Structure 1
Amino acid sequence: MSKKKLIQHTSEHFEKMFQHPPQTIFLSPGRINIIGEHIDYNDGFVLPAAINKYVCLAFSVKETSECTIIAKDLNSEVKFDIHENVVPHKKMWVNYIFGVLHQLKIRQFPLKGFNVVFSSSIPIGAGLSSSAAVECGFAYALNTMFDLGLSKKEMALIGQKSEHTFVGVNCGIMDQFASVFGKKNKAIKLDCTTLAYEYHNADFKKYSLLLLDSNVKHTHLTSGYNVRRHEVEQGITLLKKHFTEVKTFRNCTEAMVDALRSELGETIYKRCHFVVKEIQRVQDAVQAMEASDFKKLGTLMSETHEGLSKEYEVSCDEIDFLVDAVQNEKTVLGARMMGGGFGGCSINLVEKGSEDAIIERISKLYRNQFGIELKPYKIKISKGTSRYKK
């Protein structure tokens, strides 16, 4: 669905439900991560960007303390009084919003009643952070309408805290940060430890980004994630013991990891080797984008997938198939798994104009192999959460 159509549908539904048009419209984007996977918790950097898939919020302030929030896509609503204590709700979608409200209330911000209708063009379950877009869009809307004076960083942290406390997902900061801080044709090099960040050119000129959604999510994502964290923690502990100059993976070299291969054991060696290489790949990717060296960027993306699949072992047959299937395409510069792993999307750097042919060919191969329909998403890098101006 186009941005224009999303805004129109959300606004019309608001008017239908409340018999007047909304005061204001807000748009909050989903996100991709160009490179830098599984290193946010290993003192590395990530390289996310906001994309042109949005949560749209139609919003009006009321003079009373009554609040109504309508999730148009789910045909569901919740009503409450703004002065009531906010507690986790049995409807999961409500908790993304109640978590934000709770964070604002414990900061004792003065709030009044409001009506909201929201709808989304961000596909659910594709790893594009629709939940962060809801949290950040709602925080941004309340901050604007009630003049709360929150910074972008504070809104991102409120979104993250909301997910930790009301949704029960111990997520990192990347998703919320990218949603709020996104800029058109810019990627954000983000240090997830310090929240230091810088923008880098992500105008791909005659190339574009294409997402291929495998339509699978294997159940061992959470357990696999926890095991990987434990493995790399064991690895860095041993590396620090042998090399006093090592404080984090960021100042660890490939040579150091190689020197301890037998002591680390093959599994932990592979995990640590991936982390050290991926931290460097993010730096190299930034340089490649700034130099408009997209062939280099594509090569780095493919190298990342190889590491995620063979060394970090967080891929799966379906995603490996999607990445392998495009490797010999002349119009594809690089491809990799995106996100936590064990399903989700592959992200592909392709020549503009070649997308439909790639989608047609890969969809057929994928259907024949797994009996699953592929979902393709053509995306552009967009600005972050904002108030819509006609």
Structure 2
Amino acid sequence: MKKKLINHTSEHFEKILQKKPEYIFLSPGRINIIGEHVDYNDGFVMPAAINKYICFAVSKNEDSQCTLIAKDLNEAYKFDLNDELKPIDKMWANYILGVLHQLKKKGFKMSGFNIVFSSTVPMGAGLSSSAALECGIGYAMNKMFELDLSKEEIALIGQKAEHTFAGVNCGIMDQFASVFGKKNSVIKLDCTTLEYQYYKADFKKYSLLLLDSNVKHTHLTSGYNVRRQEVELGLAIIKQHFPEVRTFRNCTEKIVLDLEQELGPIVFKRCLFVVKEIQRVLDAADALTNSDFKKLGQLMSEAHKGLSKEYEVSCDEIDFLVDSVQHEKTVLGARMMGGGFGGCSINLVEKGTEDELIERVSQQYRTAFGIELKPYKIKISKGTTLYKN
């Protein structure tokens, strides 16, 4: 699959630009094992890079002219690197222009270049194709023009590009996972300090399976902003009663339960979810250390219940996908992954049983919603890399 992607991208580069690319870069999408909606609540997350990639075939120019070619979309964009870079009406180009704008702002010297890119990261499935695009470009510029950026700087530049040129106020997890990914390891990331630790994620006789609901409800942005306001209000009320609480990280479940009346029904549920989810990530790290996959699966399923009933960011389709596997002996755990209101469920399943499960759930899902399910069998892979030059 990876080889095929590289060959297709290189061949397209040669066909369009009449020469071989000087460099090939691969930038992966990501999953999050557990730790949803806690990145903006001083929590921890547990992402990993996966074996779905954006492949970039690149060559430098002697002048300042740049050509970007999105092979899968059959679109191109040309510009002069010396001109002021601004967002345009092609969203895919904005992720790239945003990174270049950040690099120029920092005073880095670059020449023009030609890029052809193609992807196996599904768009809109919550696997962070945008972060893979940003980090791939940042990584490529860093290598080609010897900018001497650290991995952390590349991730932060990608995040800033998304804020400024795509208008999405995302956390750092996606970009961090794309750059720092390591084969068979998940990253426990402190979203506040950016301290991180790798945990071995060799699931032995189990594997990770994503089931893409193929829906994306429009509540994502509005729901996300409302949730942020609710938890900020909740934390302010908690601090009034318990001044020693600085963030949700040093707030306990007991404190939230004691303040149920003061918080009111909605804000109470939101705060309860956040405190429990932060603890679940710490428990998941212990489970991985002990290769206790049963416990990990249980934590994933508990997280889904919280996301659906307490944080209320799931939807009927995703709830259906999670519920339909909960009583399967071959499934240790399942939950929605990502911002919510659509996207994928992530399932920890017994190796060798995936196809049968996919067939059964696909049929049930089609009957219930009239929608075709998209399954992705994934492996945990390394982060953004130079493939060859």
Q: Same fold (TM over 0.5)?
A: yes
Would you say 1:179 and 2:178 are equivalent positions? Answer: yes
Q: Residues 152-171 of structure 1 correspond to what in structure 2 (within 5 A)?
A: 152-171=151-170
Q: Is the partner of 1:387 in helix, strand or coil?
A: strand
- 2:298 equivalent in structure 1: 299
Corresponding letter in the other structure for 1:211:
L
In structure 2, list runs of 5 or more residues that go unmatched: none
CA distance in 2, matches of 1:259, 1:355: 44
- 2:136 equivalent in structure 1: 137
Q: Is the partner of 1:198 in helix, strand or coil?
A: strand
| Root-mean-square deviation (Å) | 0.9
Q: Residue 235 of structure 1: CA displacement?
A: 1.1
- 1:220 equivalent in structure 2: 219
Q: Is the partner of 2:72 in helix, strand or coil?
A: helix
CA distance in 1, matches of 2:377, 2:298: 20
Q: Deviations over 1:80-116 (max 9, x none)?
A: 2221221111211110100011011111211111111
- 2:259 equivalent in structure 1: 260
Q: Residues 185-224 of structure 1 correspond to what in structure 2 (within 5 A)?
A: 185-224=184-223
CA distance in 2, matches of 1:196, 1:372: 41
Corresponding letter in the other structure for 2:316:
D
Q: Residue 212 of structure 1: CA displacement?
A: 0.2
Greater mean deviation of Cα atoms: 226-235 or 290-299: 226-235
How many corresponding residue pairs? Answer: 389
Q: Is the partner of 1:314 in helix, strand or coil?
A: coil
CA distance in 1, matches of 2:51, 2:4: 13
Q: Deviations over 1:53-72 (max 9, x none)?
A: 00000011122222111100
| TM-score, with length taken from structure 2 | 0.99
- 2:66 equivalent in structure 1: 67
- 1:348 equivalent in structure 2: 347
- 2:330 equivalent in structure 1: 331
Q: Residue 203 of structure 1: CA displacement?
A: 1.1
Would you say 1:234 and 2:233 are equivalent positions? Answer: yes
Q: Is the partner of 1:74 in helix, strand or coil?
A: coil
CA distance in 1, matches of 2:227, 2:14: 49
Greater mean deviation of Cα atoms: 183-192 or 76-85: 76-85
Q: Residue 50 of structure 1: CA displacement?
A: 0.3
Q: Residue 123 of structure 1: CA displacement?
A: 0.4
Q: Residue 28 of structure 1: CA displacement?
A: 0.2
Q: Residue 221 of structure 1: CA displacement?
A: 1.2
CA distance in 2, matches of 1:377, 1:106: 39
- 2:312 equivalent in structure 1: 313
Q: Deviations over 1:255-293 (max 9, x none)?
A: 111111112112111111111110000000001011100
CA distance in 2, matches of 1:84, 1:273: 50
Q: Residue 182 of structure 1: CA displacement?
A: 0.4
CA distance in 1, matches of 2:271, 2:164: 31
Corresponding letter in the other structure for 2:267:
I
Q: Residue 332 of structure 1: CA displacement?
A: 0.3
In structure 1, list runs of 5 or more residues that go unmatched: none
Q: Is the partner of 2:82 in helix, strand or coil?
A: coil
Q: Residue 379 of structure 1: CA displacement?
A: 0.4
Percent of aligned pairs with the same amino acid:
74
CA distance in 2, matches of 1:68, 1:220: 35
CA distance in 2, matches of 1:105, 1:64: 16
- 1:148 equivalent in structure 2: 147
CA distance in 2, matches of 1:67, 1:309: 45
Greater mean deviation of Cα atoms: 372-381 or 84-93: 84-93
Q: Deviations over 1:31-57 (max 9, x none)?
A: 000000011111110000000000000
Corresponding letter in the other structure for 1:93:
W
